[in-house]
Structure 1
Amino acid sequence: MTGHTWTRLTWTHPEDLVGHELRQAGQDGRDPRAVRSVAARWRAAGGPDPPPRAGTAARPTPALRGLAERLLDELAGLPVPDGEPSGLDEIIAACPDWPEGGRTAPDPDRVLGAWLGRAAGCALGAPVEKIPREGIREIAEATGNWPIRGWFTAEGLPGDIADRWPWNTHGAATSLAENLDGAPPDDDLEFSMLALATLERHGRDFTTEDVARFWLEHLPGGRVFTAERVAYRNLLLGVEPPDTATYHNPFREWIGAQIRTDVYGWVNAGDPGAAAAMAHRDARLSHTANGVYGAMFVAAMCASAVTGACLDEVLAAGLSVVPPRSRLACAVRRAVTAARRHEDFERVLGELYASHGDLHWVHVVNNAALVAAALVHGAGDFTTSIAAAVCGGWDTDSDGATVGSIAGALTGARLLPSRWTTALRGRASSGLAGFDGVSFGELAARVCALPAPHRPGGVSVAPWKRS
């Protein structure tokens, strides 16, 4: 319309997806000559490369939309080599150490520690999301916070550094030391709340379709990104799961599913296999292969962490549910080795970037490796663990949240350092109906009320529990 500026919806336009799909097709191992042919035709038509950090190309190219749709279909039609399955039965068959049974009641203090740790790690990483590791270090050094031992702050930060490394706007507004007043709203917390709500309504036998309905009923499309936003769009188009994960979805192996599955671990304390199976049902709505493995990896670690297992047992539980020859498993094993070899975490990060620096900053493989390395480097110390995850400079709030969840469970709420809990005020803000202002104590109690299959009754504060 004349006199109006149209704001483009990110992560969904076909002309913005082709560049990302070309990279993902190469990572999938699809026919390299066919991929190069598509790339040549795209570039000959003036198609843009994928934006390195944003959701849309810098220069809009809507005239290329028809070509983009055809090329996305052509790439999707290329066969994917065997070796990284997405089906649960095939994943289990590929895992020689798949765990069986062992579920026990979760320790309430460890579940509360996991919630608080997740919130703290998320808030620590939020202001520096999208800032590379060298910028994070420069900000922290300039404010006397290197090595990172507390919240980021704008107070005392020289103007030239602030201009060179601008904060994540929302994260700075809510998660800097001078602004924190309770856990700010963030998708890294809200997906955990949605998982809890799904289990409260549908029980342990929830389906992928149940997850999809919850998204549509309670999660605005503007608050999901990358693979989740594409899957959301696909649902609105009438695409059924699990095709929602593959139709014009080049983000299917990014980090989105990995941030959604902690609760499935907490409600399956001591049973990493059951936790991973739940995580699979959630993840397949939007992800495939390594994107699904990341979700299962984290859920299994969370199942082990809330029992008080040692860190080695937690990592072993995570790897037991991931096909050992997959890219994610190989990356995690190398990261663990590097973290055990080097006391200086900067050297660990150097190895991670040498191996995975070509991946997008929110791809799952590099971020899962960083999560594992941060846990090993932290060696059970909560502060060291979340600081390592954030200073890595990839998906800072998501990695901080995941590491915080596991380290918080291993530590327990009573022993978490007050520097990370006081500012949280024991509560979380959220845009989800029924969760804004919820206390972490209530969230932990609701998780601990879930392990018995099909438990009747229960807490009735959430609107989705009413039929």
Structure 2
Amino acid sequence: MYPSFRVLRKNFEALVSSKSLSGYDVSGLLEKLQSTPDDYQKLFQLGQEIEQRPLRESWKYVEPNALDLILQQSSFVSSAPVPALLASDVFHRARAGFLSSVVGCVLGKPVEVHLDSKSLINALEKSNQFPIQGYISKTIVENGGLDFLHKDAPVSFAENLRNVPPDDDINYTLVGLVLLEKFGPDFAQSDLAAIWRDSLPLGFTWGPERLFLSRYAMEMGLDDNPQIEVAGFADSLNPGSELCGALIRSHIYGYASPGDPLQAASLAWRDATMTHRGNGVYGSMYLASAIAIAFVEKNPEAIFRRALEFIPQKSRLHEAIAYAIDSVMNSPTWESAYELIHGRYGDFGHCKIFQEIGTVVNSVCFAGSISEGLKIQLYQGNDTDSFGSAAGAILGVYFGEGNLEESWISPFQDKLHSALAGFHDLSLDSVAWRVGKVATLGLDVD
């Protein structure tokens, strides 16, 4: 069984673009692709050539994949003792992180259509929804607002909300929750892969995650319980290896590591390297460690600067986040900070982490509350559900459960719908409770 030539060519085109952004010499490869006939052997040889191209001599970044090398290239020196934590506080902060991430996801879901801040705010203004007061109304398409919406918009409009609608961002947190409940922090990638195999529908995955499941299925063949080594799946023909897919899976590792960013980053690395490489892995480590730090750090700037200690100092992501933090700290408003971040990294839009992590820094640092932070994140556009969810995870842990208004939660009527096979817990409150329990493993809950 082989993919069609159309699929192969599209994959190769994306791979060449990805390799170029990652510093590799791709000169002449697109021309070779165009001149290569529809022949599997010849296309296989071209794929090998794409993967074997060297880095450009002028490339200044150092971006390893092994965890020990990542930490060697970072400013991390040694792990400080995890501070003494009150279990009940950890429990409720983790719950708040999860619930706020759900709210941020659903809030952004209708308008996940690659908009920048100006375009999105303009549409909200034309439909009399700016400043936003709750979930987005279906009137967003009226009065010259938006003429296109995300395909899942109808189930997440304010008028239609009766539950948390299925979403990949939420799916992955649930997958991670099941993983940690079953195996704890010593899980293996094979454990995670088996849960993916048995739980994740292919149609609810994108990019590297879909590629992973497709490869896994090919390796399975007709074997019901194969022993498959998945560690190398992400090494080749993986054009989305630096997109945000690993980052959106990392929330649970932050919740499960209160005050311990090294553990959070390490768990996120183990998950992320199943599908991603380079900066795609670093983004996952960064968000997980930021969530872990938010349990104990009272200064938002310090959350993001401390999390940066786990990212290679000569990587593109370190450069982008450092620029974002400096821009936010030197700006009087989130709007002016956004203009700086977008001005430099605007080409990295939907799913591309270099700009999007900067917008999360912006949202959290200018937020006086969970609600305000979620609204700022929405206003910055791009991947509005994934990074609304990411911002919500940090905001919820930082501000705590009592600071998330019930008006954001009540429309769901305590109903959580997921797309996962075998996940039968349909109570949002129950799942939030389970997240809190995972966060307090090893602690005595009061």
TM-score by length of 1: 0.83
- 2:140/2:146 contact within 8 Å kept: no
In the alignment, what sits opposite 1:412? 400
Matches for 1:366-445 after TM superposition, within 5 Å: 366-378=355-367, 380-436=368-424, 438-445=426-433
- Matched residue type, 2:102: A
**Counterpart in the other structure of 1:41:** 32
Name the SS for the 1:36 alignment partner: coil
The amino acid across from 2:434 in the alignment is: R
Counterpart of 1:27 in structure 2 is: 21
Distance across 1 between alignment mates of 2:44 and 2:350: 25
Q: How does 1:182-193 map to 2 (within 5 A)?
A: 182-193=163-174
| CA apart distance, 1:219 | 0.8
Is contact 2:254-2:291 (8 Å) kept?
Answer: yes
Alpha-carbon spacing, 1:343–1:29, altered in 2? closer, same or farther (3 Å): same
Change (3 A) 1:436 1:144: farther
Which one of the candidate residues 41, 44, 47 is aligned to 1:72?
Answer: 47
Aligned to 1:59: none
RMSD of Structure 2 on Structure 1 (CA): 2.6
Aligned 8 A contact 2:162 2:415 in 1:
no
Aligned partner of 2:151 in structure 1 is: 169
Aligned residues: 423
> Does structure 1 retain, via aligned residues, the 8 Å contact 2:301–2:325?
no
**Counterpart residue number, 1:201:** 182
Shift of 1:36: 1.4
Unaligned stretches of 5+ in structure 1?
1-8, 46-61, 456-467
In structure 2, how many angstroms separate the alpha carbons of the residues matched to 1:340 and 1:401? 23
Residue 87 of structure 1 aligns with an amino acid whose one-letter code is A
1:153 aligned partner: 137
Q: Distance in 2 between matches of 1:417 and 1:98?
A: 39
Match of 1:107, as an amino acid?
V
Q: Distance in 1 between matches of 2:390 and 2:421?
A: 24
- 2:244, 2:351 within 8 Å by CA — same for their partners in 1? yes
CA distance 1:19–1:358, shift in 2 (3 Å): farther
In structure 1, what is the equivalent of residue 121 of structure 2? 137
- 2:339 corresponding residue in structure 1: 350
Q: Structure 1: how far apart are the matches of 2:94 and 2:426?
A: 15
* Equivalence for 2:222: none
Change (3 A) 1:66 1:387: farther
Q: Structure 2: state its 5+ residue gaps.
A: 220-227
Q: Confirm or deny: 8 A CA contact 1:125 1:400 kept in the other structure.
A: yes
Of the structure 1 ranges 278-287 and 152-161, higher mean CA displacement relative to structure 2 is found in 152-161
Mapped pair 1:278 → 2:267? yes
**Code of the aligned partner of 2:310:** V
- Indicate which of 8, 18, 26 corresponds to 1:14: 8
What is the deviation of 1:433? 3.8
Q: Normalising by the residue count of structure 2, what TM-score does the alignment of the two structures yield?
A: 0.87
2:295 paired residue number = 306
The aligned residue for residue 295 of structure 1 is: 284
Alpha carbons of 1:181 and 1:288: their partners in 2 closer, same or farther (altered >3 Å)?
same
Identical counterparts, % of pairs: 27
In 2, Cα distance between equivalents of 1:444 and 1:410: 16
- Aligned to 1:169, the other structure's residue is in SS state coil
Matching residue of 1:113: 96
Q: CA–CA distance in 1 between the matches of 2:327 and 2:135?
A: 27
Matched position secondary structure for 2:27: helix
